[in-house]
């Protein structure tokens, strides 16, 4: 066990293959476009939480109904992620990404006019179905441009889209909500989505390092049951489940907490709501940079990815648990900002860890299934918070209890991740397991 943690035993996957592949021309252009793709993605996600108080007021919604609205976004999220994950094993990611972005844009426009709760609910479900595969497909697309030892930083930049989607969208959308109407905030997002579609049509390309249609025929396969029951896959799902619990609460309940729980105005809440995402963005970039530096210096991916992603999750949960034990809005906001912001580290390291041991022709599906499983917390967390608030003695007590539940989930998932994430030995273990099953390895799938 100690040998696995030493730098000598764990060079990067690229080291075992000889010299690292050069990064193709155009890789960073595509990375930037996919960063913007995730900016739009998270702006679409945040708008309901940002407009939560006006929506609840105008539509006379209870806390439980608003919790249901927050959860509804994730009803088809996981199913569509899995379906599209298998599609991108065969279909170029360029066209899949384009289709997803069109769905996002069209799902926003019905909210521009008078809308019922049912219509709003259906549109959020459709939007969730379109956004479910987003990060996994974008990561799969980026990995066609970068060799394994260079993937952590582009993954960090892609993950940054979530933070910047909130940082950029919140002031702009909040201005629209305060000065015009929450209805127009949805319409503005639809227009922005269509602008990205035009940019991707003009500049988006498929990565040249991997042709998954060719690899589907020539590359040895590992049975999916082995990939999906490997300890690193299970560790990634468990760890990111806890992180996404915090993220889904941030998308749905953070702004209502600032307004109704702590008594700030809608305008003030718009600026305060940015803080966790600014801090989280810093954590994401630092994690990506530190991970690549550690790998370049010869540390195992167990250390430079697994431990580096899990420990901040545990620390963040402990800080979040302190919210109910400090006095004053300032300290409570600080605990929420730092505690939830530390979760960002796990998003940077898990997709590259899965890419280490998953054959490229199966990677799109595996990353998508990983995303589908951990985002199930997005269905649970907003509803749990709504129910807790509805049944609490006071609104503030309800929010603090909900965030304490979040803290427990984060610490538990971080500990599981710390125990299970061993990507540096996973490929050899899976290959040995597959070696005794010659049929799956020889059963090449013909491209359609």
DSSP state letters, 404-442:
HHHHHHHHHHHHHHHHH--HHHHHHHHHHHHHT-HHHHH
Please state the rounded mean pLDDT for residues 416-432. 89
d(CA 85, CA 94): 14
Q: Domains in the chain: how many in total?
A: 1
d(CA 348, CA 230): 20
115 pLDDT band, cuts 50/70/90, is confident
- What pLDDT, on a 0 to 100 scale, did the predictor assign at position 440? 44
Asked whether residue 254 is assigned to any structural domain, the reply reads: yes
Q: How far is CA 223 from CA 80, 187, 375, 432, 443, in A?
A: 22, 44, 24, 12, 11
Asked whether residue 13 is assigned to any structural domain, the reply reads: no
Please state the rounded mean pLDDT for residues 438-446. 40
Tokens found for residue 227: 């990939």
Buried-state track 26-53, b at ≥16 Cβ within 10 A, e below 16: ebeebbebbbbbbbbbbbbbbbbbbbbb
Q: Mean pLDDT across the chain, nearest whole number?
A: 85
Q: Which residue matches tokens 């729980």?
A: 261
Asked whether residue 21 is assigned to any structural domain, the reply reads: no
The domain in which residue 409 lies consists of: 26-442
Residue 57 neighbours by CB distance under 10 Å: 10
Q: Which residue matches tokens 């890789």?
A: 27
Is the pLDDT reported for residue 217 higher than 90? no
422 with 4: CB under 8 angstroms? yes
Residue 439 or 116, more confident: 116
Instruction: Please tell me whether the overall predicted TM-score, pTM, comes out greater than 0.75 for this model.
Output: no
Is the pLDDT reported for residue 272 higher than 50? yes
Highest mean pLDDT among 185-194, 266-275, 428-437: 185-194
- What pLDDT, on a 0 to 100 scale, did the predictor assign at position 21? 63
d(CA 378, CA 294): 32
235 with 435: CB under 8 angstroms? no
Asked whether residue 107 is assigned to any structural domain, the reply reads: yes
Q: Which residue matches tokens 């939560």?
A: 52
Greatest CA separation found in the chain? 66
Whose CA is closest to 36, among 101, 94, 93?
101
- What pLDDT, on a 0 to 100 scale, did the predictor assign at position 114? 83
The fraction of the chain above a pLDDT of 70, given in percent, is 90
- What pLDDT, on a 0 to 100 scale, did the predictor assign at position 215? 56
Asked whether residue 7 is assigned to any structural domain, the reply reads: no
Asked whether residue 360 is assigned to any structural domain, the reply reads: yes
- What pLDDT, on a 0 to 100 scale, did the predictor assign at position 20? 56
DSSP state string for 257-295? IIIIIT---HHHHHHHTTHHHHHHHHHHHHHHHHHHHHH
Q: 133-155: per-residue pLDDT in tens?
A: 998 899 889 988 888 778 888 88
Q: CATH code at 423?
A: 1.20.1250.20
- What pLDDT, on a 0 to 100 scale, did the predictor assign at position 25? 83
Q: 357-394: per-residue pLDDT in tens?
A: 998 888 888 988 998 899 899 889 988 998 999 898 88
- What pLDDT, on a 0 to 100 scale, did the predictor assign at position 37? 94
Within 8 A by CB and 6+ apart from 426, the residues are 230, 231, 232, 356, 357
Please state the rounded mean pLDDT for residues 174-185. 89
Tokens found for residue 440: 């799956």
Please state the rounded mean pLDDT for residues 42-63. 86
Asked whether residue 74 is assigned to any structural domain, the reply reads: yes
239 with 416: CB under 8 angstroms? yes
Is the pLDDT reported for residue 423 higher than 90? yes
Q: How far is CA 7 from CA 10, 298, 354, 419, 439, in A?
A: 5, 5, 20, 19, 36
268 with 258: CB under 8 angstroms? yes
- What pLDDT, on a 0 to 100 scale, did the predictor assign at position 422? 94
Residue 159 or 83, more confident: 83
Please state the rounded mean pLDDT for residues 345-364. 89
Residue 304 or 68, more confident: 304
Whose CA is closest to 28, among 278, 203, 210, 281?
203
Q: Please provide residue 220's backbone torsions phi and psi, each rounded to the nearest 5 degrees.
A: -60, 145
169 with 255: CB under 8 angstroms? no
d(CA 276, CA 320): 12
Q: Which helix (H) or strand (E) holds 182?
A: helix 182-203
107 pLDDT band, cuts 50/70/90, is very high
Highest mean pLDDT among 50-64, 77-91, 269-283, 299-313: 299-313
Please state the rounded mean pLDDT for residues 48-57. 86
Is the pLDDT reported for residue 438 higher than 60? no
């Amino acid at each position: 066990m100690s040998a696995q943690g030493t730098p000598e035993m764990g060079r990067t996957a690229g080291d075992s293959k000889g010299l690292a592949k050069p990064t193709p021309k155009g890789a960073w252009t595509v990375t930037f476009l996919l960063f913007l793709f995730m900016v739009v993605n998270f702006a679409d996600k945040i708008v309901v939480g940002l407009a939560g108080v006006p929506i609840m007021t105008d539509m006379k919604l209870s806390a439980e109904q608003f919790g249901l609205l927050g959860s509804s976004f994730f009803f088809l999220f996981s199913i569509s992620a899995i379906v599209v994950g298998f599609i991108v094993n065969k279909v170029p990611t360029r066209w899949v990404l384009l289709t997803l972005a069109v769905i996002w844009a069209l799902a926003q426009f019905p909210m521009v006019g008078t809308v019922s709760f049912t219509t709003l609910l259906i549109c959020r479900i459709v939007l969730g179905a379109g956004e479910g595969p987003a990060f996994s497909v974008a990561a799969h697309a980026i990995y066609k441009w970068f060799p394994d030892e260079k993937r952590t930083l582009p993954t960090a930049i892609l993950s940054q889209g979530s933070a910047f989607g909130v940082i950029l969208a919140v002031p702009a959308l909040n201005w629209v909500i305060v000065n015009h109407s929450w209805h127009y905030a949805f319409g503005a997002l639809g227009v922005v989505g269509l602008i990205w579609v035009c940019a991707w049509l003009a500049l988006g390309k498929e990565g040249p390092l991997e042709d998954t249609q060719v690899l589907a025929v020539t590359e040895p396969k590992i049975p999916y049951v082995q990939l999906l029951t490997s300890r690193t896959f299970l560790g990634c799902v468990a760890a990111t489940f806890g992180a996404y619990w915090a993220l889904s609460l941030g998308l749905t309940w953070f702004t209502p907490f600032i307004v109704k729980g702590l008594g700030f105005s809608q305008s003030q809440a718009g600026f305060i709501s940015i803080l966790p995402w600014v801090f989280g963005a810093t954590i994401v970039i630092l994690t990506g940079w530190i991970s690549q530096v550690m790998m370049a210096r010869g540390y195992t991916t167990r250390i430079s990815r697994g431990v580096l992603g899990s420990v901040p999750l545990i620390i963040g949960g402990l800080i979040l648990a302190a919210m109910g034990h400090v006095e004053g809005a300032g300290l409570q906001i600080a605990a929420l900002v730092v505690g939830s912001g530390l979760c960002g580290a796990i998003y940077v390291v898990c997709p590259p860890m899965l890419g280490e041991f998953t054959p490229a022709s199966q990677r799109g599906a595996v990353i998508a299934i990983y995303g589908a499983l951990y985002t199930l917390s997005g269905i649970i967390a907003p509803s749990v918070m709504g129910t807790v608030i509805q049944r609490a003695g006071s609104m503030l007590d309800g929010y603090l209890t909900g965030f304490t539940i979040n803290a427990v989930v984060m610490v538990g998932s971080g500990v599981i991740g710390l125990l299970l994430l061993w990507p540096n030995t996973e490929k050899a273990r899976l290959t040995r397991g597959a070696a005794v099953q010659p049929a799956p390895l020889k059963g090449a799938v013909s491209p359609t």
